[in-house]
Amino acid sequence: MADDFQARRIVVAGGCGGIGRAVVGALIAKGALVILLDLPASIERHGVPSGAHAFSVDARDAAGVEKVFAEIEERFTAIDGLVNLVGFSRERQLVSETSDDLWHEVTDGNLNSAFYITRSALPLLKRGHDPAIVNTSSGLALKPTPGYGPYSVSKAGILALTRLLAQENAPVVRANAVAPSAVDTAFLHGGTGRGGDDRSTTRMDVEAYLKTVPLARLAEAEDIVGPILFLLSRQSAYITGQTLHVNGGLLMV
């Protein structure tokens, strides 16, 4: 798979998160030219690794996303891959108790951001070499858990968006998704850009959760890297519109 990434221009949106940093490092090690997108505070906190080029953006801002991809186009002309890792959740609340503000905040940060990013990336991808999109959904999209209403709905929307992208842009651009279960990163504590580096609190009962996972552990960031790189690579050249579940057997479909 190493040759699949040599000199390929790969955008990693949310590249400063726990999974994002692992993906960026793996791509750089394989010779890719990584274009990292994240919030300004996240880039400042985690820095930019050698071999990556960083652009700051709030993916909820359609105009801001369009502007940053115009800058990417001016500098790199085209891109060969897009990994969208942008997303977060908030405190658990039943749908009946969820405010308008909370609903819109979470859906804007997950589903709308994915739409803005992929819409702006597509013209550059279509000029790339064997271009591929990998979006990030969640097991909660298929098996919603009470309290995660806006997150579950927005991640289910990403699966529908991914299938639409696969159909509308074939045969030039492939689009697939990964759907991880809980991953032991700052996301469990709010998100990299939302104070999640403080691990004093978590949104879930980890001990109870692990009793439901056949492989009996939380996923680690590195567990998600291989599936993402596979879906970006030529090894998955005949796969599009699919969801790869990475969940230790928690959900079997």
Place of tokens 């990556």: 52
Worst-scoring range by mean pLDDT, 52-61, 147-156, 202-211, 229-238? 202-211
d(CA 14, CA 61): 14
d(CA 223, CA 122): 27
Bridging pattern class, strands 243-246 and 9-13? unpaired
Q: Once rounded to an integer, what is the mean pLDDT over residues 59-79?
A: 98
Burial 57-75 (b: 16+ CB within 10 A, else e): bbbbeeeebeebbeebbee
Q: Is the pLDDT of residue 198 over 60?
A: no
**Domain 2-246's class?**
alpha beta
Residue 201's pLDDT is 54
User: What share of the chain has pLDDT > 70, as a percent?
Assistant: 92
The dihedral built from the CA positions of residue 158, 123, 120 and 29, taken in this order, carries a sign that is: positive
Residue 200's pLDDT is 54
d(CA 81, CA 10): 5
> Which amino acid would we find at residue 190?
G
- Helix residue spans in the chain (DSSP H): 18-29, 40-46, 62-76, 100-107, 113-125, 149-169, 206-210, 221-232
Q: Using an 8 Å Cβ cutoff, are 52 and 23 in contact?
A: no
Q: Once rounded to an integer, what is the mean pLDDT over residues 177-184?
A: 89
How many other CB atoms are there within 10 angstroms of residue 158's CB atom? 25
Prediction pTM value: 0.90
